[in-house]
């Protein structure tokens, strides 16, 4: 382990993060809120910590090894979770306990979108803005941002990049140099955010709502500035805009890059993962629609198709925006929605969960196993987009799946130990591990009623989900720390 390099880079990253305290101050200034204190304290604390770490090892020249990348990613996300909580904790509006502040911060950064705050509509805008901004930063990943704009990371940047980007195939670089890849990703991300913000604004939101909601839509976070989430706006135009942008943000950004690079929209339909993604959404949409008709559920006056589509896309991409009281729908539907969050988003997008591509690989492998029973001598490699998927990747996917299910089980038991009932525990773990946000039962709207130990478990679960388990899990193996 190269503690010097780790300290130096963590210091740099914290320094970078401290800068993000400035936009909320600007918001406080624009709306004349006199609410500078949380952010000034946050800025100084984070900046000075970062500076101290950096100064203590600024001459470290060693190259970053694969192992150090894991430590940095884990240390950094943990410390960001804590650092991001400072403004929440210091602020008097809302006044949060330490646990709640950290929960809110981690939920933001991991783009989960679960909240412990109620009465959002009364909060100062600077705090609301800060919450949304946390999601936006966490969506594409601050480490990826750092790789893009801090050239001094060098080759180590690649190791870091791998630890943070989701998906089974991590070495697929879009451009020869990693900094260029990271820049391209952030450019697409920022471009989508701007487009989304403009669309919201045109669709009737106030500029403040449009900007803040574009942050949490493109990052697939799910925070809103209103307690009622999207139901607050009660507008079909906005609902459909949100659906579109969630759908776009749930697609692999590498695919966006390639399509934009070659001006070829056909690339989408040629991509196996995209097709699976679209079909999953469509099939679930039809199932739920059918279910609603058959069970003759009543919804009041709102449009059934619009609401169903919104919930399906919101849950599948793990955004977690709500436009209606989904928990009151016929009982199988909320559970199906929660299930969708496991497999609804593409790798390399801002979505959480297991990711479509892994499910596709596993299902294909499954069908090959069945075929193999019929033709014991056949050689049937798993193919994706006409290319054979290397065996090592298939093993890694199954390994990941096992780890995911195992983590899920352990976390769910832990949640029940803290006193939750079974439904709540199940949905709380799904909502946090998949970075979804809303669950069922007691946590269908907010995590405020969860006990403190329960919130800590949820925090861990959110980080585990965002870093795709292995990055965090590897730190718990004795082998990693030996020699």
Partner 1 sequence: MRIIILGAGRVGFTVASNLASENIDIVLVDKSQDVIDAASERLDVSVVCGNVSHPDVLEGAGIKQADILIAVTDSDETNMMACQVAHYLFDVPQKIARVRSKSFLDYQDQLFSANAIPIDVIINPENEIVNFIKQLILHPGAQQVLSFANDTVSLVETKCARGNQMIGKSLSDLSTELHGLYARIASIYRSGEFITPSYSTVIQEDDRIFFIATPEDIQPVLSSLFNQNKPYKRLVIAGGGRIGLGLAQALENTLHVKIITKSSDKVEQLSEQLDNTLVLLGDATDEAFLLDENIDRTDVFCTVTSDDETNILNSMLAKSLGAKVVMSIVDRNAYMSMVDNGSIDNAIYPQHTTIGKILTQVRRGDISSVHSLLRGKAEAIEATVQDNGKKSTIAGEKISDIKLPAGANLIAIIRDNVSIPTKGDLVIQGGDHLILFISDKSSIPQVEKLFQSTKSLFSRLVS
| Residues within the interface to partner 1 (CB under 8 A) | 154-155, 157-158, 171, 173, 175-178, 180
Tell me the C-alpha to C-alpha distance, in Å, between residue 16 and each of 20, 34, 40, 288, 328: 8, 25, 15, 44, 43
The least distance separating partner 1 from the CB of residue 157, rounded to whole angstroms, comes to 7
Beta strands in 284-428 (DSSP E): 383-384, 387-388
- Residue 145 C-beta: closest distance to partner 1, Å: 18
Is 156 or 438 the residue whose CB approaches partner 1 more closely?
Answer: 156
User: Considering beta carbons, is residue 173 or 275 the nearer one to partner 1?
Assistant: 173
> Which of 118/262 has CB closer to partner 1?
262
In the complex with partner 1, the residue whose CB is nearer, 296 or 386, is: 386
Q: How far apart are CA 317 and CA 344, in angstroms?
A: 5
Query: Are 89 and 446 within 8 A, CB to CB?
Result: no
**Dihedral sign, CA of 399, 402, 408, 414?**
negative
Q: Which is nearer to partner 1, 64 or 83 (CB)?
A: 64
Query: Could you give the CA distance from residue 116 to residue 159 in angstroms, rounded to a whole number?
Result: 34
| Residues 164, 232 contacting (CB under 8 angstroms) | no
Give the whole-angstrom CA distance, residue 374 versus residue 92. Answer: 67
Contacts of 274 (CB under 8 A, 6+ apart): 251, 252, 255, 268, 346
Would you give the DSSP letter of residue 227?
A: T
Dihedral angle sign, alpha carbons of residues 35, 38, 40, 41: positive
Q: Please, which residue, 125 or 173, has the CB nearer to partner 1?
A: 173
Query: How near is the Cβ of 390 to partner 1 at its closest, in Å?
Result: 9
| 18 CB-contact burial (10 Å; exposed 0-12 / middle 13-18 / buried 19+) | buried
In the complex, minimum distance from the CB of residue 393 to partner 1, in angstroms, rounded to a whole number: 12
Strands 383-384 and 387-388: antiparallel
Greatest CA separation for the chain: 74
Taking the least distance from each CB to partner 1, the nearer of 245 and 257 is 257
Q: In the complex with partner 1, which residue's Cβ is closer, 330 or 390?
A: 390
In angstroms, give the least distance from the CB of 171 to partner 1.
6
Minimum distance from residue 423 beta carbon to partner 1 (Å): 45
The nearest distance, CB 173 to partner 1, in angstroms, is 5
Distance (Å, whole) CA 244 – CA 175:
28
Closest contact distance (angstroms) between CB of 175 and partner 1 is: 7
């Amino acid at each position: 382990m190269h503690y010097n390099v780790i300290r130096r880079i963590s210091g740099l990253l914290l320094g970078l993060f401290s800068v993000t305290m400035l936009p909320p101050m600007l918001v406080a200034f624009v709306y004349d809120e006199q609410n500078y204190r949380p952010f000034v304290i946050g800025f100084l604390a984070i900046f000075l910590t970062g500076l101290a770490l950096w100064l203590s090892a600024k001459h470290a020249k060693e190259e970053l090894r694969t192992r150090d990348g894991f430590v940095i990613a884990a240390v950094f996300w943990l410390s960001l979770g804590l650092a991001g909580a400072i403004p929440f904790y210091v602020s008097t509006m809302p006044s949060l306990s330490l646990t709640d502040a950290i929960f809110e911060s981690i939920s933001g950064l991991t783009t989960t979108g679960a909240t412990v705050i109620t009465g959002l509509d009364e909060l100062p805008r600077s705090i609301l803005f800060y919450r949304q901004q946390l999601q936006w930063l966490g969506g594409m990943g601050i480490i990826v941002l750092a790789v893009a704009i801090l050239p001094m990371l060098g080759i180590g940047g690649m190791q870091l990049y791998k630890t943070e980007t989701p998906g089974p195939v991590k070495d697929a670089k879009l451009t020869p140099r990693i900094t260029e890849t990271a820049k391209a990703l952030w450019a697409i991300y920022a471009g989508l955010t701007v487009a989304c913000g403009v669309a919201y604004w045109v669709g009737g939101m106030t500029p403040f709502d449009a900007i803040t909601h574009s942050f949490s839509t493109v990052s697939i976070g799910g925070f809103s500035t209103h307690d009622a989430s999207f139901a607050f706006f009660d507008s079909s135009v906005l609902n459909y805009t949100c659906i579109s942008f969630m759908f776009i943000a749930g697609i692999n950004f590498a695919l966006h890059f390639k399509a934009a690079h070659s001006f070829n929209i056909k690339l989408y339909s040629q991509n196996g993962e995209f097709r699976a993604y679209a079909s999953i959404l469509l099939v679930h949409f039809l199932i739920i629609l059918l279910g609603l008709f058959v069970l003759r559920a009543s919804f009041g006056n709102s449009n059934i198709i619009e609401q169903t589509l919104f919930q399906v896309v919101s849950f599948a991409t793990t955004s977690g925006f709500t436009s209606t009281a989904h928990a009151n729908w016929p009982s199988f539907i909320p559970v199906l929605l929660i299930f969708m969050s496991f497999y609804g988003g593409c790798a390399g997008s801002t979505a959480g969960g297991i990711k479509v591509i892994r499910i596709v690989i596993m299902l294909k492998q499954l069908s090959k196993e069945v075929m193999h029973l019929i033709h014991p001598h056949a050689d049937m490699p798993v193919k994706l987009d006409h290319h054979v998927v290397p065996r090592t990747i298939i093993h890694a996917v199954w390994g990941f799946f096992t780890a995911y299910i195992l983590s899920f089980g352990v976390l769910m038991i832990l949640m029940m130990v803290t006193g939750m009932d079974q439904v709540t525990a199940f949905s709380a773990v799904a909502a946090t591990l998949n970075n979804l946000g809303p669950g069922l039962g007691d946590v269908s709207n907010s995590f405020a009623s969860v006990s403190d130990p329960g919130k800590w478990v949820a925090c861990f679960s959110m980080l585990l989900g965002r870093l795709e388990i292995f990055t965090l899990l590897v730190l718990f193996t004795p082998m990693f720390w030996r020699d």
